[in-house]
């Protein structure tokens, strides 16, 4: 096996951007899934997992972090596999028990996640046996303060969640809430580099074989955001808009504006970084950016102006 090849017992289901990638780890005595995608894709996630497992049960479900696009399929998988044991990072365990959608970010992002439970915690500094191999659990704050990444030291394979993609890393959500976290993104990138992975399985996008190239690009983006936090704020707002469009596929501009008004992260971003601009004008400018970039298409929906996912 080439040093940068995935062994047959590690199966990556690349899902795009509404749902995170799903990683199946298939041992002779145990099966495990890392991350379960978005709630509206739960049936498809289940179908993809069942196609790989055939008649085998799913034994373990691992969530690298609790953003809706990484754990939205949990409830469906738990209902399908009653003996399934779910592991989550420790930070938001009380919020999961109480099902506090504000603390879990589902309300402030305007996103959807069916309620799920968990049985065990993914404690950084420990190892966990997944499939047929032991994986190190490392804290990876930045994108999410409670996120973890998983590293298999013999194969030097890293599951990076949203800490590293081929085109950077995920929105730094603590920065939306006014908490400085760009330095934590940098520390996590340094951690990844120190582990010297031969390949990286990201939370979104294809497996990364040029790990150093991805790290270099991520650091360039981080430098841009650190130097100009307004750039990150604008990026974050457009990501939230695009995510809603990916979820719904089409929406009238009136409904999109109402949704944004009711979604608190937009108010936080606008008041902290764009307070001199009227909210509706700021939002319309973001929408026009999506259209200009080709991420959305202006359409007529039942006689009203709207947006189509593109």
Q: Report in angstroms the alpha-carbon separations of 255 from 3, 250, 259, 261, 264.
A: 50, 10, 6, 10, 16
101 and 237 share one domain: no
- Kindly state whether residue 5 falls inside one of the protein's structural domains: no
User: What total of structural domains would you count in the chain?
Assistant: 2
| Residue 5: per-residue pLDDT | 84
186 and 46 within one domain: yes
> Which CATH number is 98's domain given?
3.60.15.10
Contact 261, 230 (CB under 8 A): no
Q: What average pLDDT does this structure show over 106-113?
A: 98
In a domain, 4, yes or no: no
In a domain, 21, yes or no: yes
Task: Please report whether residue 66 resides in a domain.
Answer: yes
- Across the range 254-263, mean pLDDT stands at 97
Final residue of a domain: which of 202, 227, 252? 227
What mean pLDDT value characterizes the chain?
Answer: 97
Residue 272 included in any domain: yes
235 shares a domain with 139 = no
For residues 287 and 252, membership in a common domain is answered with yes
The answer to the question of residue 41 being in a domain is yes
pLDDT tens-digit map of 177-223: 999 999 999 999 999 999 999 999 999 999 999 999 999 999 999 99
Give CA–CA dist 98/32, Å, rounded.
26
128 in a structural domain: yes
Are both 148 and 245 inside the same structural domain?
Answer: no
CATH of the domain at 254: 1.10.10
- Final residue before a domain boundary, out of 176, 210, 227: 227
Tell whether 305 is covered by a domain. Answer: yes
Q: Which domain holds residue 123?
A: 10-227
Question: Quick one: pLDDT at residue 2?
Answer: 41
Claim: this prediction has a pTM higher than 0.75: yes
Q: What's the pLDDT tens digit per position in 114-124?
A: 999 999 999 99
Residue 224 has pLDDT above 50, yes or no: yes
Domain match, 92 and 204 both? yes
Is the domain of 236 the same as that of 199?
no
pLDDT for 1 equals: 34
Percent of the chain with pLDDT over 70: 99
Does residue 238 share a domain with residue 212? no
- Of the pLDDT bands very low, low, confident and very high (cuts 50, 70, 90), residue 111 is very high
Q: What is the mean pLDDT of residues 40-48?
A: 98
- For the stretch 268-296, pLDDT in tens is 999 999 999 999 999 999 999 999 999 99
- Res 95 pLDDT > 70: yes
Judged against a pLDDT cut of 90, whether residue 93 lies above it is answered with yes
Same domain, 136 and 268: no
Same domain assignment for residues 33 and 73: yes
d(CA 273, CA 218): 23
Residues 190 and 249 reside in one and the same domain: no
pLDDT at residue 4, as a whole number: 61
Both 74 and 181 in a single domain?
Answer: yes
Select from 201, 227, 253 the last residue of a domain. Answer: 227
Q: Is the pLDDT of residue 297 over 50?
A: yes
């Amino acid at each position: 096996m080439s040093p940068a090849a995935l062994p047959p017992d590690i199966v990556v289901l690349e899902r795009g951007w509404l749902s995170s990638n799903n990683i199946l780890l298939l041992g002779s005595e145990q099966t495990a899934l890392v991350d379960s995608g978005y709630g509206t894709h739960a049936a498809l996630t289940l179908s993809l997992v069942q196609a790989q497992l055939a008649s085998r049960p799913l034994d373990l479900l691992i969530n690298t972090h609790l953003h809706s696009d990484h754990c939205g399929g949990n409830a469906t998988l738990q209902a399908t596999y009653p003996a399934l044991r779910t592991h989550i990072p420790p930070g938001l365990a009380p919020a999961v028990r109480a099902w506090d959608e504000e603390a879990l970010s589902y309300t402030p992002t305007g996103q959807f996640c069916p309620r799920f439970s968990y049985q065990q915690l993914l404690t950084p500094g420990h190892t966990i046996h997944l499939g047929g191999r032991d994986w190190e659990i490392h804290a990876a704050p930045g994108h999410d303060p409670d996120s973890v990444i998983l590293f298999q030291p013999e194969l030097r394979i890293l599951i990076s969640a949203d800490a590293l993609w081929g085109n950077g890393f995920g929105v730094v959500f603590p920065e939306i809430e006014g908490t400085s976290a760009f330095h934590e993104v940098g520390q996590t990138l340094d951690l990844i580099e120190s582990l010297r992975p031969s390949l990286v399985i990201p939370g979104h996008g294809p497996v990364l074989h040029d790990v150093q190239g991805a790290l270099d690009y991520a650091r360039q983006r981080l430098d841009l955001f650190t130097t100009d936090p307004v750039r990150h704020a604008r990026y974050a707002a457009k990501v939230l808009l695009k995510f809603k469009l990916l979820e719904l596929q089409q929406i009238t501009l009136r409904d999109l504006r109402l949704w944004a008004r009711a979604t608190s992260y937009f108010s936080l971003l606008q008041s902290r970084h764009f307070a001199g601009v009227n909210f509706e004008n700021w939002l319309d400018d973001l929408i026009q950016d999506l259209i200009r970039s080709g991420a959305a298409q202006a359409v007529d929906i039942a006689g009203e102006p709207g947006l189509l996912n593109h």
